[in-house]
Structure 1
Amino acid sequence: MSFRLAAYAVCLDHDRVLLAHYRGAHWTLPGGKVEHGEDPYDTVIREVHEETGCDGEVGRLLGVDSRVIPAAEALAGAPHQNVGVFYLVRITGGTLRPEANGETAASVWTPLPAVAGLPRSGLVDVGLSLARDRPLTGHVAPVAVGGLVRH
C-alpha cells in the first residue's frame, strides 16, 4: 500500500471558498504532499502560493482525515492511504494565477452553494465540513465517493 501525507487549505471569504482545478480533472482544495522533513504547517502555506499565486497565513488547525483508496479506484492500481491535515487559511495577498509548470490550471473563488454541482475531490467536502462544524475531535465521517465526488 502506498502512503501520502498532505496538507490542505480551506480558504474562506464570506460565502466563497478558494478551489484549485487540476488540468483535465476535478476541483480540489489548494494543498499537497508534505516533503520529507517538512512541517505540514509550512507545507500548506507553500502549496497555497505554488498552486494559486496567493500568500496566506494559517488561522487554525481544522482536523485530520485518513482514507484508504481501494486498488480498483486508485490511480496506480494499488491500495493507497492518504492522510490529510486541514488548516483554515486566510489569503493575505498575491494574485490568482495558474500554477507555473504544475498541475493546477486555475484557482477560483467559488460560491459555497455552487460547490455541490462541481466535479470535485472528496477532500473539498471534508475540508468544508471541518470548517463548518469545527468538531472537537478534528474528525468527520468519511465522504461517500461517486457522482461528482472523486478520490
Structure 2
Amino acid sequence: MDLRLAAYAVCIEDGRVLLAHAVEPDGGRTWTLPGGRVEHAEDPFDAVIREVAEETGLEAVVERLLGVDSRVVPAADRRRPGRPELHNVGVFYQVRVTGGQLRPEPNGDTAESVWTPVDDVPRVVRSSLLDIGLALARTAPVTGHVDAVPVGGLVQH
C-alpha cells in the first residue's frame, strides 16, 4: 500500500471556488482543489501555500484548518496501472488569496486553474476531494470530519 499525506486549499470568494484542472497520468482531466503531496519534513500548513502558488500562480494565506480526510483508493481505481492501493490522508485548509496572477502550472500536472461558481461544481468531472473540501467549508464540523463521498459518475478518486 502507498501512503500519501497531502494538503488541500479551499478558497471560496464571492460564491466561487478556486479549482485546478489536474492532468491525470492516463491523459484524463479532473477538477480538484489546489494542493498536493506534503514533502519530506514539510509542515502541511506550509505545503498548502506552496501548492497554491505552484499550481495557480496565486499567493495565499491560511485562514483556518477545516479538517482531515482519510481514504483508501483501491489498486484497480488508481490512474497508474500496477500501483498498489493508496491510503491518502488529506489536510484541508481554508485559504484566502492575497496576490499573484492566475496561470497554468509550468511543467506540472495542472493544466489550468479557474474560479468556478460553487453551484456549478456538481456538474463537472471532479475529484471526491473537491466535494470533501466543500463539505468541510460549508458545515465547519467541530470534529473536522465529514462522511465519505461516494465515487461514481462525475465524482472520481
State the match for 1:50 in structure 2.
54
Give the aligned residue type for 2:44: P
State the alpha-carbon separation in 1 of the partners of residues 15 and 117 from structure 2: 6
State the match for 1:126 in structure 2.
132
Work out which of the residue numbers 91, 95, 103 in structure 2 matches 1:85: 91
CA shift at 1:112, angstroms? Answer: 0.6
State the alpha-carbon separation in 2 of the partners of residues 148 and 81 from structure 1: 21
TM-score where L is the length of structure 2: 0.94
State the alpha-carbon separation in 1 of the partners of residues 43 and 85 from structure 2: 25
CA shift at 1:74, angstroms? Answer: 1.8
Work out which of the residue numbers 89, 101, 105 in structure 2 matches 1:99: 105
State the match for 2:15 in structure 1.
15
TM-score where L is the length of structure 1: 0.98
**Ranges in structure 2 where 5+ consecutive residues have no aligned partner:** none
Q: Where do residues 16-35 of structure 1 align in structure 2 (5 Å cutoff)? A: 16-23=16-23, 24-35=28-39
Range moving further from structure 2, 68-77 or 4-13: 68-77
Give the aligned residue type for 1:38: E
Give the aligned residue type for 2:98: T
State the alpha-carbon separation in 2 of the partners of residues 37 and 127 from structure 1: 24
**Ranges in structure 1 where 5+ consecutive residues have no aligned partner:** none
Structure 1 stretches (4+) deviating beyond 6 angstroms? none
State the alpha-carbon separation in 2 of the partners of residues 68 and 75 from structure 1: 14
Instruction: Count matched residues.
Output: 151
SS at match of 2:148: coil
Deviations, residues 54-103 of structure 1 (Å, cap 9, x unaligned): 00000000000000011211234421100000000000001100001101
State the alpha-carbon separation in 1 of the partners of residues 153 and 147 from structure 2: 18
State the alpha-carbon separation in 2 of the partners of residues 55 and 35 from structure 1: 19
Give the % identical residues: 64
